[in-house]
Amino acid sequence: MSGGRVDRSWDCPILHVDMDAFFASVALRDRPDLQHVPAAVGGGHRGVVLSANYAARAHGVRGGMSGVRARRLCPQLVCVPGDHATFSAVSTALREIFRGFTPQVEMASLDEAFLDVRGATRLLGSPLAIAEQIRATVLAEQGITCSAGVAPTVSVAKIASRRAKPDGVLVVPPEDVVDFLHALDVGELYGVGDATATKLRRAGLRTVRQLAHAPVGELRAAVGSGAAHQLQVLAWGRDRSRLHERRGPQEPDRSMGSQRTFARDLTDREEVLREILGLATKVTRRLRAGSVAGRTVALTVRYTDFTTLTRSQTLPEPTDVTQEVYAAAVALHDALVAAAPGGRRGRRAALRLVGVRVEGLVPRTRVHRQRVLGEREHGWSDADRAVDRAAGRFGSGVVGPASLLRLPPTTAPTTASRTAPTAAPTAAPRGRGTTPEGAVGRAGDEFL
DNA sequence: TCTGGGGTCCTAGGACCC
DNA sequence: TCTGGGGTCCTAGGACCC
């Protein structure tokens, strides 16, 4: 299963390259003092650890873990803020490194990619040799280590790189795929999370070998027919070898959204609406920056008891207008409150989280707004763009909807006035990258 | 173990139309 | 007028990934 096997057996070698503890590695790159100290990115009051270095992992700290629990496991843990702009820049550089080896690159996230190296073996050597060259280049140019998996299919390559971590390579030649997979726990399959793994174990299927040989009817009863078919494909290593020519610059994201968990749960409608306006502002600003618009507005709320509900509404036409997204989100919010028996009194009424998402995105050039009779020549759309320009020049903390001003409670604006997307200087401009009062978001995130 | 934020994809039911 | 089937859109929720 290791070493450079004879390449003749490879129909189409897929490499999966995955950075080791990406966010932590990048954030700690310039902090040699923290190299061998348990350290993590993120982990605020109600936040979670984004990524932990291996010294912290030795204490059991993992990405996705609450900061409270991480510090309980490792009291000396050092938490540092992350900077999304830096992560993106490194990600772009990584993609260029990969493209230097093959044009067939599918970025799976910021820090990992699948590479089809079929055409590169003649020039660069075996898949293993190529993987080692890529790892050396990443280390030399970006100062971070990565791991690689080499296999005939996407999901097997993914599993292989995970098992090669940290700083290693694992090659699974075609003739070894079935043995390699069948020795695994079902939970290790790519695409099998906690929910599916639990269902499988309840059906008596613990290993991939058992899953592979399970009667189809039994499997369908456990997970449904669609998932049953997909699982057996994975269990025999017969998933795809073709890479998706992933979204190019011209193909937009399918949705954009933003959500916020509050430092304390909110009960006041005015406060909730202010949060919704902040989220709508943030999301539509990103829509406009990406030159896309969307037709469906979705609102997510999470109550104190963790009950999470989503409601969505599809508009007649795609929009990137802050006011329209805000209005739709408020309507969804109010419908939700009205629909709840007793108006959701009691503990459930307190909100822990609110999220706004715009779905069904299309390029803005494809949106032809039909001017409604009597619509003003220069409407909300122009106001949004004026705000965007000001934010671009002076920083996003400088301008925003008037209602996002922090005013003394006695002078708080009415609902009607607070919805106006007027560009107004904030009373106390927030510095870039600071976390606003009451926010939980990762340090380095901008509020708007 | 008291549980973030950003996404994608799939399923399933109901409405509506042909 | 009743019935059936198929296709598409919308909505809600779940699962998964990083």
pLDDT in tens, A233-266: 999 999 999 998 655 555 678 999 999 999 999 9
Q: How many angstroms separate the CA of A256 from the C1' of B7?
A: 8
Q: What is the average per-residue pLDDT within A187-195?
A: 95
A231 conformational bin, left if phi > 0, alpha if psi -120 to 50, beta if neither: alpha
pLDDT given at position A348: 59
Q: Are residues A284 and A352 in the same domain?
A: yes
Answer with the one of A36, A61, A84 that is the final residue of a domain. Answer: A84
Q: How many angstroms separate the CA of A152 from the C1' of B2?
A: 41
A175 catalytic residue (yes or no): no
A432 CB contacts (<8 Å, ≥6 apart)?
A395, A396, A397, A446
Q: How many angstroms separate the CA of A370 from the C1' of B9?
A: 32
Tell me which DSSP letter residue A133 carries.
Answer: H
pLDDT given at position A157: 97
Q: What is the average per-residue pLDDT within A78-102?
A: 93
* Closest CA-bearing residue to C1' of B2: A66
Q: Which nucleotide is nearest to A189 (CA to C1')?
A: C16
Mean pLDDT, chain A, rounded, equals: 84
Q: Are residues A376 and A330 in the same domain?
A: yes
Beta bridge partners of A292: A363
Residue A166 has pLDDT above 60, yes or no: yes
Count of domains forming chain A: 3
pLDDT given at position A431: 33
Q: Are residues A308 and A187 in the same domain?
A: no
pLDDT given at position A105: 94
Q: Which residue has the higher pLDDT, A365 or A320?
A: A320
What is the rounded CA–CA span in Å between residue A401 and residue A425?
Answer: 9
| Cβ atoms of residues A130 and A101 within 8 Å | yes
Q: Are residues A336 and A392 in the same domain?
A: yes
Question: What is the residue range of A35's domain?
Answer: 22-84
Strand C proximity: list residues 356-415 of A with CB under 7 Å.
360
Q: What's the pLDDT band for A12 if we cut at 50, 70, 90?
A: confident
pLDDT given at position A403: 65
A405-443, pLDDT tens digit by residue? 554 443 333 333 333 333 333 333 333 333 333 333 332
Residue A115 has pLDDT above 60, yes or no: yes
Residue A14 has pLDDT above 90, yes or no: yes
Percent of chain A at pLDDT > 70 equals 80
Q: Are residues A228 and A269 in the same domain?
A: no
The residue from A106, A112, A275, A324 that is catalytic is A112
Whole-angstrom CA distances from A32 to A26, A27, A29, A37, A267 are 12, 11, 7, 10, 45
Q: Which residue has the higher pLDDT, A71 or A414?
A: A71
Residue A308 has pLDDT above 90, yes or no: yes
Q: Are residues A216 and A351 in the same domain?
A: no
Q: Which nucleotides of B are covered by protein (CB under 7 A)?
A: 1-12
Q: Which residue has the higher pLDDT, A418 or A231?
A: A231
Q: How many angstroms separate the CA of A50 from the C1' of B1?
A: 17
- Is A320 annotated as a binding-site member? no
- Whichever domain contains A213, its CATH number is 1.10.150.20
- Is A18 annotated as a binding-site member? yes
- Whichever domain contains A419, its CATH number is 3.30.1490.100
Strand duo A424-425 + A399-400: pairing: antiparallel
Q: Which nucleotides of C are covered by protein (CB under 7 A)?
A: 9-18
